[in-house]
Amino acid sequence: MKPLRRIVIAGGGTAGWITAAMLSHLLKGSATAVELVESEEIGTIGVGESTIPPFITLLRNLGIDEQDFIRQTSASFKLGIRFRDWYRLGSGYFHPFGAIGGQIDVHEFYQCWLRAKANGHPSALMDFAPAAIMADEYRFMLPFKAQRTMVGAASYALHVDAKRVATYLRRYAEERGAVRTEGRIERVRTRPDGAIEALCLRGGREVAGDFFIDCTGFRSLLVGQTLGVGLIDWSDQLLCDRAVAVQTENTGDTHPFTLSEALGHGWRWRIPLQHRAGNGYVYSSRFLSDDEAVATLRTKLQGRLLTEPAIIPFKTGMRARMWEKNCLALGLAAGFIEPLESTAIHLVYRAVDHLARFFPDQDCDPALAAEFNRRMGAEYEEVKDFIVLHYCLSQRDDTPFWQACRQAPVPASLRARLDLFRASGVLRDGLEELFRAVSWQSVYEGMGVRPARYQGLVETLPLSVITETLDRSAPLLRAQVQGLPSHDEFLRTHCAAERDF
């Protein structure tokens, strides 16, 4: 064994400091040093401000006090995503975190609900999703504090200030031995075998290492430019290629969900934090100019502008190989899928999880890189298919953009999932897949896809047992939610932001 002596992270921002924090935690007590190189001259994108429930698990695994983290990052709680105008103009649905209902006898709740609907039951699927009801009422409670109630089946994530997250995790990493080096990378020096040997900084300084992590954003200075790994282009399946982002003052109550509203040539987000709101419009430059996008977004904003609108061009796709030789690409350097389901930060820490699983020595056995690339490639493909799902099921044809979306190719892997679900509500769940039954069922139902029939085994349960359970559960859940504090009240009482952070 020739253990790694120094891991060098090129680039900071959210991706770089999540990586430094995780590695400094994983490598505590070892002789492996972690060094991060970043330049204050180079700005960061800083709009990845919505997370999903595994992010809470990450904080706990790092031993971070969740309450302290929320205060210092001005975070708010997120119970899911509210979609508006995606299926048709005037339509809406909710993608909740956590469970929908519970087993009835030995049968899956969704299948029991399908049978009840087939027999005329008036309920909606979201009537049984605790997170959806809490979101409707702008109420919040930590689910583990309500374990003996139906609210305990909810789950949650956070809305965060990306730059404050990077600052928080930088402090965490440096306290555990990670070193930050200020400097602009001008050149990357390689070894005779093509692997990376050192980062050459402006002024002549060099930072050498055994293993390098590319967090240089869309430039992908190491894996893309230096090692020559190309991008697998998905822009034929996902047509949006630009975003405009802006921050505004908060107005009204803080909604405990991310808002995603489909517009004429893409969609907009609103993410409320404790001290401000993040807003953006993801769109296709083929159908809309930057000026038109900014003007459209301005008509949707609430509150005074705190920043000038920033235009962010992007290409949807992933690196053909994220791990090449002795270098690993993370974050935007590895690929980009529009943030419709808030997966950007998740894919960073999933990649570090996989790196820990296939941790190399100085020889960087190609078999480890190959398995890492296979697994991360599958995760990116899964996220991409789930995002495509929102577009390919839309019935909108009111603009050339939406007409083009309806003509865009649907991946064979997604078509197989759709065919299986349409038959009898069966889902193809992989062992490590991010999106589980609740996610697929919520989007299918919200986008007008209901199975042709329910599974036959549900017939073994008397219909009266199912309908009585539904009739009892929905009002009980609403009553329990009514007894919870408002989202703003919970934030003020338990984790109010530190304004001077």
Residue 434 CA from chain centroid, whole number? 10
Q: How far apart are CA 118 and CA 462, in angstroms?
A: 14
User: What does the CA dihedral 221, 347, 136, 128 come to, rounded to 10 degrees?
Assistant: 160
Q: Is 41 helix (H, G, I), strand (E, B) or coil?
A: coil
Distance from chain centroid for Cα 67: 21
For 107, the 3-state DSSP assignment is: strand
Task: Name 212's bridge partners.
Answer: 8, 327
Helix (H) or strand (E) segment spanning residue 391: helix 366-392
Q: Quick one: DSSP state of residue 189?
A: E
* Token pair belonging to 308: 């000038």
Question: How big is the chain by its Cα radius of gyration, in Å?
Answer: 23
Sign of the CA dihedral with 84 first, then 348, 154, and 129 last: positive
Residue type, 425: G
Q: Strand 206-208's sheet: what is its strand order?
A: 185-190, 196-201, 206-208
Q: For tokens 């530190």, what's the residue?
A: 498
**Annotated catalytic, 78?**
yes
Q: What is the DSSP letter of 67?
A: H
How far apart, in whole angstroms, are the C-alpha atoms of residue 131 and residue 412?
A: 32
The active-site residue, picked from 2, 28, 78, 163, is: 78
Q: What DSSP state is assigned to residue 485?
A: P
* CA atoms of 146 and 80, how far apart (whole Å): 18
Q: Using the CB atoms, write b or e for 248-264: b if 16+ within 10 Å.
A: bebeeebbbbbbbbbbb
Catalytic residue annotation: 78
